[in-house]
Amino acid sequence: MDLVISMSLVGAMISMLGMGLLIAYYGSSKTRNVGFGFLVIGAAIAYYITLPDTFADISFWNSMLAFIGGMVGGIIGIIIFLVAIIKS
């Protein structure tokens, strides 16, 4: 269960940081403020996750490894698809 919660938080953190950056940069007035809010929430989740007493043990880092592996695999798969389609 810890694995599910910690990795769900990681996913939400990535979304918040990524979208927060985009919204804070390209947004205007109110929207930009919301973007900064997302950035703060993302940073807070990152801080909470990496606290020593929460999830940051070896199994968490192994899970991160699995997540990164899955993402890299997905990107490689899409590149294979694009190469196959473009070459034909």
Partner 1 sequence: MDMSTDNLDIMQFFVSMLIVGIGVALLATGMFTSYFGAGKSQKIGFALLATGTILLALTYLMAFGGIDAIPNEFDENFFADAFVSGVSALFGMIVGLFVILFVLMKVDTVDDLEDLDLEDLEDLDLDEELKKLEEELNQTEDKEDEPVVDEKKEEE
Question: What Cα–Cα distance (Å) separates residue 57 from each residue in 49, 63, 71?
Answer: 10, 10, 21
Cα 86 from Cα 88, distance rounded (Å): 6
Least distance between partner 1 and beta carbon 57 (Å): 6
Rounded least distance, CB 26 to partner 1, Å: 12
Per CB under 8 A, contacts with partner 1 among 68-87 are 68-78, 80-81, 84-85
In whole angstroms, give the CA distance from residue 7 to residue 55.
10
In the complex, least distance from residue 21 CB atom to partner 1, rounded to whole angstroms: 12
Rg over alpha carbons for the chain, rounded to the nearest Å, is 17
Structure-block tokens of residue 52:
């020593």
Site for partner 1 in 15-54 (CB under 8 A): 15-16, 19, 23, 28-31, 34, 38, 50-52
Interacting residues toward partner 1 by CB under 8 A: 3-16, 19, 23, 28-31, 34, 38, 50-52, 56-59, 61-78, 80-81, 84-85, 88
